[in-house]
Amino acid sequence: MTSPLYFAALRSLVAGASLLLPAIALGRPLPRQPRVWLGILGIGLSFTSAGFAGMFLAGSVVTPGIASVLANTQPLIAAALAFFLLGERLRDNARLGMLLGFFGVVFTALPGVGSQGSGVNFSGIGFVMLGALGVAVGNILLKGLSGKADALMITGWQFTLGALPLLVLAQWLEAPLTISWNWSFVWTLLALGTAVTALPFLLWSWLLRRVELTRLNTFSFLTPIFALLISAIFLGERLQAIQIGGVALSFYGVWRISRQETDPLHSTRLLPVAAKMGRQNGLSPSPTYCACCVSG
């Protein structure tokens, strides 16, 4: 086995290679605009470098319950950033659904809080929040690059570039690299790098081209819920009443957001354009598109 940051870097490099090799074989074009490359570098530093570093370093110093709660602040952070940077707005019932989904995770994780000691590890909390912030910023940048370059190239290069700071940090903070290159380690690394990392991220980037980030990101609340349900079904772990309530609350919150209708005028910046088009065609502005409806 190897140290956390080295393993994170290796996993990122495998994920990058598993996406870049098919991209090259298929003749996908390299990004040419410097702004696109800056965006890819930003995604790599935030989503991969910060996200993986926070996740891997926190694994040994934070209890699963605290980690689940803190990590799931990521959709809330991303929603705030998307509001200011992307103009994405949620109606009142969808905002309520997001809060319900988050508190569902809190209730689900409560029995695990303090299960490995009641002391608070502030460095571990910092690692988790670093990872959550990195993923949130990376999602914003990825949404901004949607449609501006080939998806395989974007995802493959961001993993590759994001692995380099992890290697530097590993060399600086951890013991010299020692890896037992056996078949078990290789297959684990390949599985995690391709099936668990590269392919889901590629699917995520594809979905971001079609769905608002805030609405799509809410499904992240279901990750610890599914882990808990799998443990209950296959490992025989018993769910407490508060956990069952948390599961129901998270599903209900995600359902509220998923049923929100797409508002074509989700940003008030589009209102003057709609009004101008109406006047040019001899039409009066429709009351359906008032500012209160759009911002709600």
pLDDT tens digits, one per residue of 53-86? 999 888 777 777 778 888 889 999 999 999 989 8
Per DSSP, 219 falls in state G
Query: How crowded is residue 98: how many other Cβ atoms within 10 Å of its Cβ?
Result: 22
Over residues 9-20, the pLDDT tens digits come to 999 999 999 999
Contact in structure between 269 and 87 (CB atoms under 8 Å): yes
Task: Provide the pLDDT for residue 285.
Answer: 39
pLDDT band at 113 (very low <50, low <70, confident <90, very high): low
Quote the pTM value: 0.79
* CA pseudo-torsion sign 267, 141, 147, 79: negative
> How many whole angstroms separate alpha carbon 66 and alpha carbon 70?
6
Contacts of 111 (CB under 8 A, 6+ apart): 65, 240, 242, 243
Contact between 41 and 222 (Cβ < 8 Å):
no
pLDDT of residue 175: 72
Neighbour count for residue 257 (Cβ, 10 Å): 26
Which of 48, 90, 77 minimizes the C-alpha distance to 211?
90
pLDDT attached to residue 245: 92
Closest CA to 291 of 267, 273, 264: 267
Tokens of 205: 């980037």
In the chain, pLDDT over 90 holds for what percent of residues?
A: 47
Torsion of CA 187, 192, 196, 200, to 10 degrees: -110
Of the candidate ranges 32-46, 159-173, 221-235, the one whose mean pLDDT is the lowest: 221-235
- Return d(Cα 214, Cα 106) in angstroms, integer: 19
Among 209, 251, 219, which Cα is nearest to 74's?
219
pLDDT tens profile 257-277:
887 654 444 443 333 433 444
Choose between 121 and 235: higher pLDDT: 235
The DSSP secondary structure of 30-72, one letter per residue, reads PP--HHHHHHHHHHIIIIIIIHHHHHHHHTTTS-HHHHHHHHT
Mean pLDDT of 163-173: 92
Q: What pLDDT, on a 0 to 100 scale, did the predictor assign at position 269? A: 39
| Res 179: pLDDT | 74
Q: Give me the DSSP letters along 96-137.
A: HHHHHHHHHHHHHHGGGTTTT-S---HHHHHHHHHHHHHHHH
